[in-house]
Structure 1
Amino acid sequence: MTKKITILLCCLFGATFLFAQKKETSKNIKISGKIVDAATNQPLEYATVILKDGKTQKVTGGISDQKGFFSIETPKSTYEIRIEFISFKTIKFPSQEINANKNLGIIKLKEDAANLDEVVVIAEKSTVDIRLDKKIYNVGKDMTVKGGTASDVLDNVPSVDVDPEGTVSLRGSSNVRILIDGKPSALVGLNGAEALRQLPSDAIERVEVITSPSARYDSEGTAGILNIILRKGRATGFNGSVNVNVGDPRLYQTSVNLNLRTEKINLFTNFGYRDRRGPGRYNSDITYLSNGSIDSTRIENRNFDRASKSFNGNVGLEYFINKKSSLTGSVFVRDSKGQNLSTTQIGSFDPSGNSLFNFVRIQDEGETDQSLQFSLNYVNNFNDKGHKLTLDYQYGVDKENESAIITDLRPETNSTDETSIDKLLQADYVLPIGENAQFEAGYRGNFETLTSDYLVTLTSANEFNPSNNLEFTQNVNAFYTQYGSKINRFSYLLGLRAELTKINVNLLTSQEKFTKKYTDFFPTVNLGYEITEDQSFTLGYSRRLRRPRSRFLNPFENRASRTVIFKGNVDLDPTYTNSFDLGYLNKWGKLTLNSSIYYQRSTNDIVRVNRQEIRIIDGKETNVLVRQPINLASEDRMGFEFNANYNPSRKLRFSGSFNFFQFKTNGDYSYDVTNPSTGITTTINQNFDATNTSWFTRFDARVTLPASIEWQTRLFYRGPRSDAQSDTKGILSANLAFSKDILKDKGTLVLNVSDVFNSRKYVTNAFAPSRENPTNITNQTFQWRMRQISLNFTYRFNQNKKQKNRNSGEREDDGGGEF
């Protein structure tokens, strides 16, 4: 089926390509140029170029790209040309006959202070912006994430899925690299999923989905990269906004964004406080088998009551040394405290349904997270053509402490203290060559040191268990170079990245040390072809890897419960992936279609497997489930996706996405199980050959109701999926939001209902040790949080909801510019 669909899509792409080629005519000419800020000579992105045909009175045009360049193809004629940008004075070129390609050169726009507060939209920023090596999704207009977090924002980005446990996936793969402003950041923290739930959505400007990363980016993340770009103040003078949110279950949140910009400095700050309660549920039904018959069943019903309070603060100062260079320093701090109470009713029954035992397990867990990060950035623009040098230094400290008191048949307390110190050094050099070519080179060093102390105290026997103490270091030195050019309608970007990795694992408790070193090369190829102004193809190739995390390398056993245990594997090797991506973009008037076909081949694939062991617990032989990561032989992943936007009018907008993927895993795993009573050892052989097909889709509708009320509805469905050891059911969820501007458009009220039907539940059936010969079958349902209803109020001062941000003097710190 997949092969037929792939062949059909290729045929459609080919037919479109031939048809578009046939339509081309030599009568067209190009009008090009570059638009910059007259005060700083910085490029202005999304400036509007308007062409009015003096013969037909037809109006056409285009917008400038990130570097201020524009190129518009149009028939030969007489044109009146206007250049416009919000809060800048319009420039008009007198009517002139243009019969050949014309370059207007560098066009300098001056700021128009009188129009700063006008509510005028000249060129509305599109929801999706396609670049040669990335797709950019602007989230500012998304009401369904108001009052939410970064996790909610990512869950509403096409190609991305966030499961109920907070795991982020890109095109169905959870091995995705998450960056903040193009760099690893303390905002992601030690626990990425939990940290993303603490970063308010109001702080995010856009998300870049990079499925075919160029050599400029880290090779980490076999599925690709998600780059979260935070908001930065750009408008002249003092301005800002205040955001307040209340909701049920308990949600109190406020954030303040302030910005002061003068000719020499740009001071930006954002602060956020969040107080939240998140109830949830987990239910499991485990059936234990012996020789194909039911031996016993174990039922666990767990209720979560999670409460957290967190503070985020970021202060930065950009100093304009001169018109071509700037120095920016910033400090980020986060402090959060959580209290999680889970109550579990546990019962065990024989095959006839008679009770073997019943008890209540209560786990009262407290957690504190603290992050501190210093960043320093220097930019030197040698000229107005993109020749520049960028230097970055970043130092971050993350501390996490977890402590739990467990009331059980055998009470215990446990605690985990982790401290991570991360340093980053980066240098990027960009040299334009001629009009349409560019050379880049750079270095990035990531240096991580992590210490973890896991301690268990068994209170019933009053004995002290030393548990585990770990030291982990990972140093990665990377060098890259790449060259790109545009020849007529064809663009290419070729790069090579070299990374030298050294990992040390020091188990202080057992006095064991392990060291791994490897040097790898990662070539990248990104190609683009513009058939017409509205149609284009992209083709990307990249080699990526997945390094095992410290938790995956730590062989110490960490218990979720007495019968469910996780342990790492110090023998893990990196996973290497070769990725191919073919994309097609077409615009038919008010309809925009963006589609891709992709294929990934991974070797040494890291997967978590479940195996069963027999252990003596409370004097009885008990089946224990052990989860451990291993390297399997290979995985082949393929799929296609469609993203469509249809805007029939200014009051009605639709968007939708569909992602279909299939992955095939090959590999075998063998392990020994020893019966503690008899001493007999049995070898278990597991075959992990499996083919899994799944999909997910989104639909989004925005409608303007009477009284200028905005109504937004979003539906999401993730299809069922299977692998060698589990089946997961599909998930349907819906979000609903209403928005109304008040106080002369300086304020906005948003009513948001997240998960309207309270249906976002993770339901799975797991088979251990294998589907073919299970010794236990687990049916489980997990709901991370209940339906959320919230009311959000935003007030803006000295800025306007519809006023476009300007790029003057700002460095888009997203890991480098695009070609």
Structure 2
Amino acid sequence: MNNTTLLKFVLLLFISTTAIAQKPSGYGKPPMVSLSGTILEQNSKQPLEYATVVLTHLKNKKVTGGVTDIKGNFNIRVPKGSYAVKIEFIGFKTKALPNQNLTKNANLGTLLLSEDAETLEEVEIIAEKSTVEIRLDKKIYNVGKDMTIKGGNASDVLDNVPSVNVEADGAVSLRGNENVRILIDGKPSALVGLSGADALRNLPADAIEKVEVITSPSARYDAEGTAGILNIILRKGKITGFNGSLNLTAGTPDLLSIAPNLNYRTKKFNLFSNLGYSYRKGPGNSQSFFTNYKDGVITGYRDENRKFDRKNNNFNGSLGLEYFIDKNSSITGSFFYRKSKGNDIATNLTTVFDANRITQSTENRIETEDQDNVNKQFSLNYTNNFDGNGEKLVVDLQYGDSEEVELAPIRVNGNLSEQNSQVTNSKDRLLQIDYVLPIGEDSQLELGHKATLQDLYSDFQVRDASGNPFTYDPSNAIDFKQNIYAFYAQYGSKVDKFSYLLGLRTEITDIDLTVLTTNQKSDKNYTEWFPTINLGYELNDTDNLTLGYSRRLRRPRYWFLNPFESRSSSTNVFRGNPDINPMFTSSFDFGYTTKISKLTLNTSLYYQYSTDIMQRVSVIEDRNGTNVFISQPVNLSDENRYGFELTTNYSPAKWARLSATFNYFKFKTDAFNYTYTAANGSQVVTPLPEVNNSSWFTRFNARITLPAKIQWQTRLMYRGPQESAQTDRKSMFAANISLSKDLFNDKASLVLNVRDLFNSRRRETVTYNGDRSNPTAIVDGAFQWRERQISLSFTYRFNQKKKRQRPGGSYDGGGEEFGG
């Protein structure tokens, strides 16, 4: 039995065992009734989301319940009988309704909760376990007390979210598809910055409250991101009083970080902040071994070994003030600032061999990159809930200014060879208006507009040791403008157990790219329509069905359009493509969720059809007698992708919590002949064969309580091999472990964390240049962004109370929410 078959067998055995261990229910059940109502805060009349409704049967003492949605509403189905009902919310007085005889559907109306003065010192929940909330168009993963991310960053958080993988180079994928849209608090943000995935490593994990995984986005959301959307929600205090936390982390390789989060809230305003400073050394490595062919005969070899020594000092801070104009409206202003300074040394040792593996030459190429990044963002939000019955107007304004300055001199065999520099500045503006109008008790209409405007300038210069351009000069400067204007409408309703949300979005895109050094222009202007359908059906209290359809697109980012060339290697480079077009995808998603005693199963079947897919293609270009391998993004043919996803959560005992995720997907890409025009004007045709391949990944997590209340957490990840038109990617396995102990009456926590325990998180690939059956070169590659990290993290909470388990915390809420 091979490793792949063995892993599949173990996973299926785990799922089967846990499912069989539960006694089926559903026979002889008494008739069901519904209990509904609305929970509001007594003074402000604001709805209390996640308030807990606990029902205890007066005869058999069985406990059930639910939590309120974003509007403070709940709707819970229970067997007929007499119940004691309690309404609970941390920091508020419990409301008890001791004897409720539920013989038919009942509505408790509006219930008001008042703050409990005795618990104002203990107002913030730091939940012990991560919970999952199922909505009509998304799944919400509360970060909770996930020990493996303590002292980590946003990339570590995303890598622990079901359905999501983070590659060795930081690229984020959703269900195996890297075209995922990442938002911060529902909007594009300077927190992601110009460098994309790299910037996520500078956002501390402790600042993140939850992550929304949106695989079938409604019309409210941007159409960008063919795989879907990941929305990172930052922490912001919600209860009256002053509270906060301080996290200190130290580790090896060198890691030192401090992250205070402070919040002060009164009945009239809420002042919140997220701060963080970190110093990191990030050693990494890569290898590329080239085997060159001519007419099927090996002509020589080249071995490139790179070592990365990275140092980074990063400070980021956000400060916001929310002012409550009255009980139904508020205005919030916030400012975000980040400054990071990096010093990266990439050492590339290249050895050239002849066909008999006799050394012909060696070269030691060292690129020293000093990088200064500054990101600033101003945001203003106005929210008006009108009469508090569901009508809502939200207006967002946002302005961002990001600048990166890079100086990267290169030395070859100890002598200065190149003086490279790049200056990039981006100014981003956003206007968004959303209006929700309730229609009756169970329906609502939503309308909105969004304008996103980006102006970006980048100047990339390559000069020799004397400051003069080379004969072949890869320098370039670009002026990039992208304006997107969107309008949407959607209508949602719930009829008994059936919910639906229908929407239509249009986006007008205007992209202008000018390569200033050559006056080359690339204009992309198009208007597209994006329908969305989301359906939900509650089979019973524990079983739910969802069905979603959406049309989405992937626009090329500026670095895919910018024809600059990377310079760490003179013979193995990446270059953008100004002629690349957007990619469009139609997605279908069918989901089923059930609970069987202590086991929760969440399954999905999905299908995606994409046109003009974007993929990196490698070609060989002859420059003065030297073969230069160039990787650049191109539009290929169409792709069909379909898959199956399963997430399980199982708690066999109070001291053990187990969860697993399994995702299998299959994809087919049509054959395609890519024609490339080399620098000398010659045409190079690269045949790309049909790809009909599959892959899978799985993740297993175990939380065990040891003696002395020490928490032990283990997280295992395995990703299967995958094949594309030119590249075969090998499988990968990684493991994280953590030990945690609470101190000082739960006011503090100490966490020992080991990421990538076996130092095995490496991306290994085999790339074929030219025809696979008759290649001109085969490249065996390996890349490891970060080596094994060991860290010790100490968190102290003041005016916060760490609660073991919120009553009813395992419930997923009393109904869906129509919008995002």
Bucket of the pairwise TM-score, normalised by the shorter protein: over 0.9
- In the superposition, the TM-score normalised over structure 1's length comes to 0.93
Cα distance in 1 between the residues matched to 2:237 and 2:676 = 60
Q: Which amino acid aligns with 1:482?
A: Q
8 A contact 1:86–1:803 mirrored in 2:
no
Which SS does the other structure have where 2:708 is aligned?
helix
Cα distance in 2 between the residues matched to 1:388 and 1:326 = 12
Unaligned runs of 5+ in 2: 17-22, 808-816
Number of positions where the alignment pairs a residue of Structure 1 with one of Structure 2:
790
The one of 193, 207, 213 aligned to 1:189: 193
Map of 1:395 onto structure 2: 399
The one of 551, 569, 592 aligned to 2:600: 592
Deviation of 1:648 after TM superposition, in Å, equals 1.8
Unaligned runs of 5+ in 1: 13-18, 807-815
8 A contact 1:89–1:111 mirrored in 2:
yes
1:327 lines up with 2:324 in the alignment: no
1:320-352 per-residue CA deviation (whole Å, 9 max, x = no partner) reads 111111110000000000001121221111112
Which SS does the other structure have where 1:532 is aligned?
coil
Q: Which amino acid aligns with 2:150?
A: K
122 and 368 in structure 1: CA distance in 2 versus 1, 3 angstrom threshold: closer
Deviation of 1:365 after TM superposition, in Å, equals 0.9
1:517-540 per-residue CA deviation (whole Å, 9 max, x = no partner) reads 100110000000000111101000
Map of 2:421 onto structure 1: 415
1:688 lines up with 2:689 in the alignment: yes
Q: Which amino acid aligns with 2:34?
A: K
Cα distance in 1 between the residues matched to 2:122 and 2:339 = 39
Which SS does the other structure have where 2:283 is aligned?
strand
The one of 89, 93, 98 aligned to 2:97: 93
Map of 1:544 onto structure 2: 552
Which SS does the other structure have where 1:152 is aligned?
helix
Cα distance in 1 between the residues matched to 2:391 and 2:805 = 26
Deviation of 1:549 after TM superposition, in Å, equals 1.4
Map of 1:812 onto structure 2: none
421 and 650 in structure 1: CA distance in 2 versus 1, 3 angstrom threshold: same
595 and 315 in structure 1: CA distance in 2 versus 1, 3 angstrom threshold: same
Deviation of 1:51 after TM superposition, in Å, equals 2.2
The one of 423, 428, 431 aligned to 1:425: 431
8 A contact 1:417–1:452 mirrored in 2:
yes
Across the aligned residues of Structure 1 and Structure 2, the Cα RMSD in angstroms comes to 2.6
Deviation of 1:607 after TM superposition, in Å, equals 1.4
Q: Which amino acid aligns with 2:484?
A: V
24 and 573 in structure 1: CA distance in 2 versus 1, 3 angstrom threshold: farther
The one of 371, 375, 391 aligned to 1:371: 375
1:268 lines up with 2:272 in the alignment: yes
The one of 152, 176, 179 aligned to 2:180: 176
1:720 lines up with 2:721 in the alignment: yes
Q: How does 1:774-785 map to 2 (within 5 A)?
A: 774-785=775-786
Deviation of 1:687 after TM superposition, in Å, equals 2.7
1:573 lines up with 2:581 in the alignment: yes
Deviation of 1:611 after TM superposition, in Å, equals 1.1
Which SS does the other structure have where 2:162 is aligned?
coil
Which SS does the other structure have where 1:153 is aligned?
helix
Map of 1:615 onto structure 2: 623
8 A contact 2:127–2:804 mirrored in 1:
no
Map of 2:442 onto structure 1: 436
Cα distance in 2 between the residues matched to 1:735 and 1:655 = 15
1:533-569 per-residue CA deviation (whole Å, 9 max, x = no partner) reads 1110100000000111122223344444211233332
The one of 80, 83, 102 aligned to 1:79: 83
Deviation of 1:119 after TM superposition, in Å, equals 9.9
Map of 2:813 onto structure 1: none
The one of 309, 313, 330 aligned to 1:309: 313
1:703 lines up with 2:707 in the alignment: no
Q: How does 1:91-170 map to 2 (within 5 A)?
A: 91-117=95-121, 127-170=131-174
Cα distance in 1 between the residues matched to 2:94 and 2:251 = 45
Q: Which amino acid aligns with 2:65?
A: G
38 and 269 in structure 1: CA distance in 2 versus 1, 3 angstrom threshold: same
8 A contact 1:502–1:518 mirrored in 2:
yes
Map of 2:342 onto structure 1: 338
Cα distance in 1 between the residues matched to 2:69 and 2:262 = 27
- In the superposition, the TM-score normalised over structure 2's length comes to 0.92
8 A contact 1:374–1:394 mirrored in 2:
yes
Deviation of 1:746 after TM superposition, in Å, equals 0.9
Cα distance in 2 between the residues matched to 1:239 and 1:21 = 45
Q: Which amino acid aligns with 1:380?
A: N
363 and 121 in structure 1: CA distance in 2 versus 1, 3 angstrom threshold: closer
Which SS does the other structure have where 1:568 is aligned?
coil
- After TM superposition, the structure 1 stretch with the greater mean CA deviation from structure 2, 255-264 or 20-29, is 20-29
Q: Which amino acid aligns with 1:791?
A: L
- After TM superposition, the structure 1 stretch with the greater mean CA deviation from structure 2, 630-639 or 142-151, is 630-639
1:734-773 per-residue CA deviation (whole Å, 9 max, x = no partner) reads 0000111111211110000001111111111111023222
The one of 506, 509, 516 aligned to 2:524: 516
Which SS does the other structure have where 1:552 is aligned?
helix
1:104-138 per-residue CA deviation (whole Å, 9 max, x = no partner) reads 11111111121345699999876111100001111
Map of 2:768 onto structure 1: 767
- After TM superposition, the structure 1 stretch with the greater mean CA deviation from structure 2, 68-77 or 269-278, is 68-77
Higher relative contact order (CA 8 A, sep 6+): 2
Q: Which amino acid aligns with 2:211?
A: V
- After TM superposition, the structure 1 stretch with the greater mean CA deviation from structure 2, 681-690 or 231-240, is 681-690
Q: Which amino acid aligns with 1:422?
A: D
Q: How does 1:343-358 map to 2 (within 5 A)?
A: 343-358=347-362
8 A contact 1:466–1:509 mirrored in 2:
no
The one of 643, 649, 669 aligned to 2:673: 669
- After TM superposition, the structure 1 stretch with the greater mean CA deviation from structure 2, 92-101 or 472-481, is 92-101
The one of 37, 43, 49 aligned to 1:39: 43
Which SS does the other structure have where 1:581 is aligned?
strand
78 and 572 in structure 1: CA distance in 2 versus 1, 3 angstrom threshold: same
The runs of at least 4 aligned residues of structure 1 exceeding 3 Å deviation read 19-26, 54-59, 116-126, 460-466, 555-560, 672-676, 680-683, 803-806, 816-819
Cα distance in 2 between the residues matched to 1:452 and 1:767 = 32
8 A contact 1:209–1:227 mirrored in 2:
yes
- After TM superposition, the structure 1 stretch with the greater mean CA deviation from structure 2, 664-673 or 522-531, is 664-673
8 A contact 1:634–1:667 mirrored in 2:
no
84 and 420 in structure 1: CA distance in 2 versus 1, 3 angstrom threshold: same
Cα distance in 1 between the residues matched to 2:459 and 2:122 = 58
Which SS does the other structure have where 2:636 is aligned?
strand
Cα distance in 2 between the residues matched to 1:575 and 1:463 = 36
1:419-476 per-residue CA deviation (whole Å, 9 max, x = no partner) reads 0111000000011111111110111110011100000111168447582110000000
Map of 1:656 onto structure 2: 660
125 and 462 in structure 1: CA distance in 2 versus 1, 3 angstrom threshold: closer
8 A contact 1:33–1:105 mirrored in 2:
yes
1:123-164 per-residue CA deviation (whole Å, 9 max, x = no partner) reads 987611110000111112100000001001101111000010
1:196-215 per-residue CA deviation (whole Å, 9 max, x = no partner) reads 01000000001000000000
Q: Which amino acid aligns with 1:212?
A: S
Map of 2:756 onto structure 1: 755
Cα distance in 1 between the residues matched to 2:110 and 2:29 = 28
Cα distance in 2 between the residues matched to 1:572 and 1:672 = 13
Q: Which amino acid aligns with 1:711?
A: W
8 A contact 1:522–1:542 mirrored in 2:
yes
Map of 1:735 onto structure 2: 736
Cα distance in 2 between the residues matched to 1:735 and 1:556 = 37
Map of 1:473 onto structure 2: 481
8 A contact 1:206–1:228 mirrored in 2:
yes
95 and 149 in structure 1: CA distance in 2 versus 1, 3 angstrom threshold: same
Which SS does the other structure have where 2:224 is aligned?
coil
Cα distance in 1 between the residues matched to 2:467 and 2:320 = 53
Map of 2:811 onto structure 1: none
- After TM superposition, the structure 1 stretch with the greater mean CA deviation from structure 2, 463-472 or 428-437, is 463-472
Which SS does the other structure have where 1:154 is aligned?
helix
Cα distance in 2 between the residues matched to 1:587 and 1:695 = 25
